[in-house]
Amino acid sequence: MIYVKGLNKSYGPHHVLKDLTMHVEKGEIYGFIGKNGAGKSTAMNLFAGLAQFQSGECLIAGKATSMHSRKSGKVGYLPENPGFYQYMTGLEYLLFIDSMFKRKNSAARRNAAELLETVKLSDDAYRRIGGYSRGMRQRLGLASVLVGDPDLLLLDEPSSALDPEGRNDMVNIIKDLNRQGKTVLISSHILDDIEKICDRIGILHCGHIHLETNLTDLDDKYLPPSYQAVFEKGPSPENIAALKRKPWMENMETVNGRFIFHLKQGDESKVLLLKTLGEMNLAVQSLLRKKSTLEDFFLKAVNGNE
């Protein structure tokens, strides 16, 4: 659905995107993450055909990005801070957007009502947008990009202004849209949301994709294993010092009476840990692998490549 190769974009002497290469498969939800200022919004603008790049290739559904592809309605782009006509009501704004598609008024009103219900703004349909909160505007923005029933959704920080309940609603809406066959590229600094909905992620760092992976591969391929242990009697200071000196031990910490062992990569690390604990005569009540989060992965990937 999205194919990008060797994309370069500069603003004067500042190189924002450097040889950006990535792809998003049709029907998947792709998480686009990176530090503030990494160039995510710039890339989104390029994908949507709202800006030009200096060199490289960018194809959407096999066609070069352009103003025409944006007008065709096949790409729906929600910027982080969408602009609206403040004097319009939510319903009026969606009907205004719909007028570009030249549908009959009855069909347009039916479509607008359904979209307002989808984003949970039905009760505020006749309220002026100037009185909407920022979170309500993000919801209306999503409804507006769905008016033309696009195949591809480009969502830049779609839940940044929402409260926890609103974020959960947004996650469920995006999942439902994906089930309907829509491809989604989502940029967000709320990594918990990305982890809940995305099939794959790409980390944008220093202007290019530093790493691209399936979310299911994080623990097995990229993050060293961590284990949480509970003992009948905790290790002595001498035991702890000895464990920290082991070559297969990355780090260890204590959280609420539980010991967390961060091991170096390799299947043999757990075996060596259990063997060492046995040699120390430490009775283990439980030893569970601690699931790594996307935040763990992101921080390790980015901070290890400054």
Q: Determine the structural domain holding residue 98 and report its residue range.
A: 2-215
Question: Based on the domain organization, do 107 and 253 belong to the same domain?
Answer: no
Answer with the one of 194, 215, 236 that is the final residue of a domain: 215
Question: Based on the domain organization, do 149 and 278 belong to the same domain?
Answer: no
Question: Based on the domain organization, do 47 and 157 belong to the same domain?
Answer: yes
Question: Based on the domain organization, do 146 and 272 belong to the same domain?
Answer: no
Question: Based on the domain organization, do 168 and 244 belong to the same domain?
Answer: no
Give the E-state strand segments of the chain in sequence order.
Answer: 2-11, 14-24, 29-33, 55-60, 63-64, 75-78, 152-156, 183-187, 200-205, 208-214, 226-231, 249-255, 258-263, 284-289
Find the mean pLDDT for residues 254-275. Answer: 84
Find the mean pLDDT for residues 97-110. Answer: 89
Top-confidence range, 34-43, 106-115, 251-260: 106-115
pTM of the model: 0.82
Question: Based on the domain organization, do 163 and 230 belong to the same domain?
Answer: no
Question: Based on the domain organization, do 104 and 231 belong to the same domain?
Answer: no
What tokens does 284 get? 């283990």
Question: Based on the domain organization, do 209 and 63 belong to the same domain?
Answer: yes
Question: Based on the domain organization, do 91 and 163 belong to the same domain?
Answer: yes
Burial (Cβ within 10 Å: 0-12, 13-18, ≥19) of residue 94: buried
Percent of the chain clearing pLDDT 90 (strictly above): 57
CATH of residue 231's domain is 3.30.70.980
Question: Based on the domain organization, do 127 and 210 belong to the same domain?
Answer: yes
pLDDT score for 63: 83
* Total domains, the chain: 2
Question: Based on the domain organization, do 88 and 131 belong to the same domain?
Answer: yes
CATH of residue 68's domain is 3.40.50.300
- Sequence length of the chain is 306
Question: Based on the domain organization, do 169 and 242 belong to the same domain?
Answer: no
**Between β-strands 63-64 and 55-60, what pairing exists: parallel, antiparallel or unpaired?**
antiparallel
- Residue 73: pLDDT over 60: no
> Whole-number mean pLDDT of the chain?
89
pLDDT score for 267: 64
SS3 content of the chain, % helix, strand, coil (to 5): 40, 30, 30
